[in-house]
Amino acid sequence: MWIKICGLTRVDIAREVARLAPDAIGLNFYAQSKRRVTVDIAAEIVSLLPASVTPVGLFVNHSPDEIRAICQRTGLKTIQLHGDETPEIVAELAEFQIIRAFRVGEAGLDHVAADLERYRTLGVTLHKCLIDAAVPGAYGGTGHRAPWEVLKRDWDSTWPPLVLAGGLTPANVSQAIAEVSPAGVDIASGAEASPGVQDLQKVLAFITSARQTPLALPNAVDPRSGTG
């Protein structure tokens, strides 16, 4: 199970989170986010991470040039696109490992299917797909739960590995994994003392619970195995 702790903003906390051995941590560069991190702090966080913890830069409607500039300054090689970026814009960023975020509600996955077909046509390989809850006017990090039943029923196992986000907590991540069978899980607000400040006990509880929950098919191809 691939585990990402998102929204880190402090070097001291990032160091302690890394010691808890998640697979990845998220650094949010969206200007309107309560979890926004500065480029300088992000660079310091990236520099202290062990090789086993992947830093992921989260971007919302940044231009490809802005993304490249931030990644050059910080050393980021994996990016998460969480805005309204078109497949054509994403295709311009093929030098990075790309996690594409989609906001999903009860209406279903038709928009995800359409975009993924466009990516296929353009020859774009997505490293993972992250599914967050669809909340009007928000790009994520709301604490609202994604529609588990929709994902369980309609996620196509031929699509890129599914990373489940949206409203996850240490208390519900085991149930989420059992019901949705994702390849990975992502937490922000559910592991915080306040926005951008992680509660290390919650982080540890989340990681422990996620690691102890058995993987199940069809969506649970563990990205750490190199598949996808």
Pair 164, 151: CB distance under 8 Å: yes
What range does the domain containing 67 cover? 2-225
Rounded distance between C-alpha atoms, residue 228 and residue 211, angstroms: 20
- Is the dihedral angle over the CA atoms 33, 12, 204, 215 positive or is it negative? positive
User: Quick one: pLDDT at residue 226?
Assistant: 43
**pTM, whole model, 2 decimals?**
0.91
Mean pLDDT taken over the chain: 92
Split into its structural domains, the chain has a count of 1
Calculate Rg over the CA atoms of the chain.
16
Residue labelled with tokens 């031929």: 158
Instruction: Write out pLDDT tens, residues 23-77.
Output: 999 999 999 999 999 999 999 999 999 999 999 999 999 999 999 999 999 999 9
Mean pLDDT computed over 11-28 = 98
Mean pLDDT computed over 66-89 = 97
Residue 225 above 50 pLDDT? no
* Percent share of the chain, pLDDT over 70: 89
User: Quick one: pLDDT at residue 223?
Assistant: 46
Residue 228 above 80 pLDDT? no
Residue 180 above 90 pLDDT? yes
- Is the dihedral angle over the CA atoms 48, 50, 53, 54 positive or is it negative? positive
Return the number of other C-beta atoms located less than 10 Å from residue 184's C-beta.
27
C-alpha distances (whole Å) from 177 to each of 13, 54, 108, 210 are 26, 21, 19, 8
Q: What is the CATH number of the domain that holds 218?
A: 3.20.20.70
Instruction: Write out pLDDT tens, residues 104-160.
Output: 988 899 999 999 999 999 999 999 999 998 766 666 666 778 899 999 999 999 999
